[in-house]
Amino acid sequence: MNNVNSEVYMDISIIIGMMPNEMRNRISKGFINFVESNKANNYVSNINPQIPLKEQNIRKETKEMLGIIYRDYLCDEEERVNLLEKEKKELLELEAQKREKYDPDNIFKKNDIKENINEDIVTNEVAMIEYKEKESIITKIINKIKSFLHIY
């Protein structure tokens, strides 16, 4: 287990200890034992039991874990169903965004559009220019002889 997780478990352990007994009793004993066995004992948490949690600077991971504890153990059944539906909807939206962003067909379509634009730019920039070299007197004489002899 990495340090971040064990530090989060330490924060969660402190927060569970701050809860009233009726809330703490609603949380699974197995979950509490898991948190207690995986917490970092040498980590000094910045959670102060004297200050409400809303006013404290808590890690994102700790907030996420508290959300899971609330959803799974503390809220009533109706609210749990609503939270699960909301979570499922958010995950589906996130997957749709990822699918749209990383869809191979769309990636190739975007490249085709860029190639077409580049081709248009290239064709507009390239123009045929007739270039005539100055003929020397010797070249003119040779060309005249060829034209009389019908040699090209």
Q: Give the side-chain half-sphere CA count within 13 A for 6.
A: 11
Give the chain's mean pLDDT. Answer: 81
How many other CB atoms are there within 10 angstroms of residue 62's CB atom?
21
Opening angle at CA 121, ends 120 and 125, nearest 5 = 115
**Cα angle for residues 98, 104, 107 (degrees, 5° grid):** 90
pLDDT of the residue at 35: 92
- Give the dihedral sign, CA 57/77/36/23: positive
Q: What percent of the chain has a predicted confidence (pLDDT) above 90?
A: 30
Cα separation of 125 and 121, whole Å? Answer: 6
Is residue 25 pLDDT above 90, yes or no? yes
pLDDT the model gives residue 108: 61
The per-residue pLDDT for range 73-126, each reduced to its tens digit, is 998 999 989 989 999 999 999 998 888 877 776 666 655 555 555 555 555 555
Q: What is the mean pLDDT of residues 63-80?
A: 90
Which band of pLDDT confidence, cut at 50, 70 and 90, is reported for residue 150?
confident
Length of the chain: 152
The radius of gyration of the chain's CA atoms, rounded to the nearest angstrom, is: 38
Q: Which of the four pLDDT bands, split at 50, 70 and 90, describes residue 1? A: low
| Maximum separation of any 2 CA atoms in the chain, in Å | 117
More confident residue, 124 or 65: 65
